[in-house]
Structure 1
Amino acid sequence: MRLLSVALTLAFLNTVGQALALERGNSGPQVTSVQRCLQRLGYYNGPINGNFGPLTENAVKRFQQAKKIPAIGQVGPQTQRALQAACQSRQSKSSSSNVLKVGSRGAAVTQLQQSLRTLGYYKGPITGYFGQETEQAVIRFQQSKKLQADGIAGTNTLQVIRTNLASRPNNNSVGGGTDKYPNALNEGDAGPQVLQLQRNLAQLGYFQANPTGNFGSVTKDAVVRFQRDYGLTANGIVDGQTWTAISTNANYANNNNSACSPTSGFICLGENSPRVVAVQQSLRQQGFFNREITGYYGTETRDAVAQFQQTAGLNPTGFVDFQTWQALGLTNNNSTGGENPNIENRYVVIVPIRDANTLEQVRQFVPQAFAVKSRLGDYVNAGAFRDRPQAERRSSQLRDRGFDARVEYF
């Protein structure tokens, strides 16, 4: 069935060059074929819907750049021939069903990413999707082990990865004591390692209590949730594999979230707000997020955002800045009643930023407010409206609460 799908994709690609160039705004089976080919090559991770939108356009541009073709985002005869050749080559190299390659998804990819991160070859988020970042990590590992560096994790590569993991010193030793699991942390243990475990789980959004250094039922439940999310045995016992997965993910979150400042209007790990609901809904609609819509910005949402950013050609930071917010198709109206996001809203309620607390104070009343830098002075955008009376009402409500709010037309 897969070979038939590839054959159909290549057949459709053959017809692209006989027609006008495909470009943004087009739709149909030819666009579907282009999306499938780009996905197989690792350039496209959006939905396969036959609509040539901004994600498809960005993927085409990245492919064109890689192939030294003018990056105009349109699929003309030259790009069509390059796509066909690349997809045929990819198919011939990965005809086996027992390999992980660009476009693969699932628990096996999650395990591969965790293993490569443990071995020091993968620095990206654990997403369960095999994209270009994972492919490059596989190539680096293959090169270091004198394997064929094709970026495909086949039987031989996976076996060498397992062998290297097994040979790591103290691979299963993270704790101590004379309990049922002396080489692991588990319920009943206590000490500085448990305290670090709790802090790491809190950093990742799994542990909501105060870290005490005592491994109780709350800590066990947090470990189980983490293990379930990352494809590990969900038994609440922190063996070497679970410890490594938690600590490396916490380090990644800490390093990347250090650049995320809530006072700048960014959505960072730990935020719980209507803005996060809007982000999760948009990610789900575009096929990047299949979890429950909670409004909490934890590691699952962060990884989905990073995956979206990479697909959209943005820096995959894992947090939502204004550029990512716009790329998700969101406006300042997504969580606000009485405002129509489908109509251009030019009347903006602004509050000049007087100190570092201004944004958070405004968000007490307008949760989706965000900061904007301007040559005339930084301000908080507290809502954009089509009609001035609506904007004046919002401005009046904020002035009643002591804010220097005003309405500007943009």
Structure 2
Amino acid sequence: MPTLTESVVRSARPRARKYEVTCSSVQGLVLRVLPSGRKVFFLRYRDGDRDVRERLGAVEEVSLAEARAQAQARLLTEAPPLRVAPRPRVGPRVRELAARYFDEHVAVHLKPGTRVAYRAHLRRILAEFGDDRLVDVTPERVERWHASLRTTPCAANNSLRVLSHMFTKASEWRLVPRDHGRPTATVRLYRERQRERFLTPEERARLDEVLRAGERAPTGKPGAISWSVAAAIRLLALTGMRRGEVLALEWSMVDRRHRCFRLPDSKTGQKSVPIGTPVLELLDALERRRRPGVAYVVHSSRGTRLLPGTLGRAWAQLRRRAGLDDVRIHDLRHSAASDAIMSGVPLAVVGKILGHATPRTTARYAHISDAALADAVEAMSTSIAACGRTRRAKGSRR
């Protein structure tokens, strides 16, 4: 239970429903925050069978120090002494909510890859709040927890979003009082910078050289790369597909006639991924390695689906040997989009190729399109100006 401070009083934000912030230093002192934004100090106690809240004054009328002094005097001088109402200690714990949330929401509605990420967020949440009852999770505690994760802002924000949705479901499932609200509502997310890293033609050449050298190296030797890992990386680079889409790709999804992959269940639902001649040639090579009864285009030595961890470890070695330590495997997707735009492909078409759910996602590449347009205009105007200079030079010689 937090101690009321001037900072806590100032930072308390209004919610859709009124709520109270309790104090541990003065028993029974609470700050009530109304949806209108008005904040009022109360003294809460039990008088016989009645739960009493005695108004001490709004924050504009009395300071925190004055409210604290009034509450202490009231408790000390009243005869018979007032008994402070104990805070209810009932209801489910966060650990119980997390178990139900995973079983009834995550496992039912989210894809396997997303479930793995949610498990990590839930572990982070349970490490802090696992043994607490839902009613004991306060905005102040959530804010401190979120602040403790500030060195990894993206992970902190995503874990906060999961915790927020957990309390939304808790309200739907009637696990908390209706007026409890979400303790995450007033916590501000960290600003997340969109990280953009695109491979240059020279970097692509280095990557391909290291990839080929790894394929030629004997199995078990330093730098050796299995054919399946090499194929997965090439598919990522040539198509701009997501890692999970490539690892889940099955031969039944390959439509050579229409030159596309037909994915029944991608991140954005069912979609078709167009493929070019280099991909078809790669598929021809992979077809020769195809094993009876194995559904996956790229697979482990046992014929099972290639694991993200296996691909990730191989990529870490590959990029280090290529001198591309800052390049993530997902940057291959960004680079494919960048190359398409620089080649003159419209943003809307790039969005269709990558399978973006909304144009807003593709809009992050707009500056690349603008740069390509600027280069084209520069080349055009330089060419026109050069023609003019040539004509003037010819005229002066006459």
- The structure richer in strand per residue is 2
**If the length of structure 2 is used for normalisation, what is the TM-score?**
0.23
| Greater radius of gyration (CA) | 2
- The structure richer in helix per residue is 2
